[in-house]
Amino acid sequence: MALVVQPTLLERIENLQFADPTLQKVQHNIDSGHVAYRLALPPKLAGVHNVFHVSNLRKYMHDPEHVLVYEPPELQEDMSYEEFPVEVLAREVRKLRNREIPYVKVRWSHHSDREATCELEEEMKVQHPHLFEV
Give percent of the chain above pLDDT 70.
81
Tell whether 104 is covered by a domain: yes
Q: How confident is the model at residue 97, as a pLDDT? A: 92
Indicate the burial class of 106 (C-beta count within 10 angstroms; 0-12, 13-18, 19 or more). Answer: buried
Q: Which domain holds residue 115?
A: 85-132
The domain total for the chain is 2
Residue 120 covered by a domain? yes
Structural domain includes residue 68: no
CA quadruple 5, 8, 10, 13: dihedral positive or negative?
A: negative
Q: Does residue 41 belong to any structural domain of this protein?
A: yes
Does some domain include residue 34?
A: yes
DSSP string, the chain: ------HHHHHHHHHHHHHSHHHHHHHHHHHHT---EE----GGGTTS--EE-GGG--PPPP-GGG-----PPPP-TTS-----EEEEEEEEEEE-SS-EEEEEEEEETT--GGG-EEEEHHHHHHH-GGGG--
Question: Above 80 in pLDDT, residue 101?
Answer: yes
Give 118-131 pLDDT, tens digit per residue.
999 999 999 999 98
Specify if 72 maps to a domain: no
Question: Is 37 a member of any domain?
Answer: yes
Tens digit of pLDDT for each residue in 24-75? 776 666 666 555 667 777 788 778 777 777 677 788 888 888 888 777 778 8
Structural domain contains residue 65: no
